[in-house]
Amino acid sequence: MKTKFKILFLIFATAVNCLGGIFIPQTAIPLYMDSVLTIAVTACCGLWGGILCAFLSNGIMYLFDYTMLPFVICHISTAVCSTLVFRKVKVPENLETEFLTIEAFLWAGLWAALANAVSGNILVDILLSSQSERMNTATPVQGLYIATKSLFFATYLSGILTNLADKLISAVISFFVYKAFSKFILFYKLKKHHG
């Protein structure tokens, strides 16, 4: 895949991640959606592309006060987990004609969710005393706290459930964007070759 297409895709994915991370918290939906296309970038551009997407997305959101910089660890874990899954399922040698499966993306989302839940919950516990600044993700914690009377347990359980939903939705979106992007590259190559 040509470098210019990877750069354009990275810019597009970073913008989508930032928009998701900025606008979803304004709703009552208890999701983060700040790494919605990181799995797709990792599939198309490899581990370093995914990590760069993580730094750019979190860095931009940090500059505009939508996240704290240490949470880039969660975002990086999405790229790392995706890379490990994609290596295990053997990434096709020719990404323009062979595609990863939806199952590979779902597994990447599952492992990323677990890694994000652990690292994110530890960061929330250390930096914010188990109290999220985002109302859309604080509400499930409050509901679980009322039921369990343990802020620690409520924070961790809510973090796991929220990350599972967030990363599996992100994995499905990433899969379809990845397929569309790969088909666009194939179409472009064929057009250039025949045109």
Q: What is the per-residue pLDDT for 50?
A: 97
Between CA 102 and CA 81 the distance in angstroms is 15
Tens digit of each residue's pLDDT (9 = 90 or more) over 77-99: 999 999 999 999 866 665 555 78
CA distance 159 to 145: 13
Q: Residue 139's domain is classified under what CATH number?
A: 1.10.1760
**pTM across the whole model:** 0.87
Identify the segments of the chain with pLDDT beneath 50. Answer: none
* Tally of domains in the chain: 1
Range of the domain at 36: 3-194
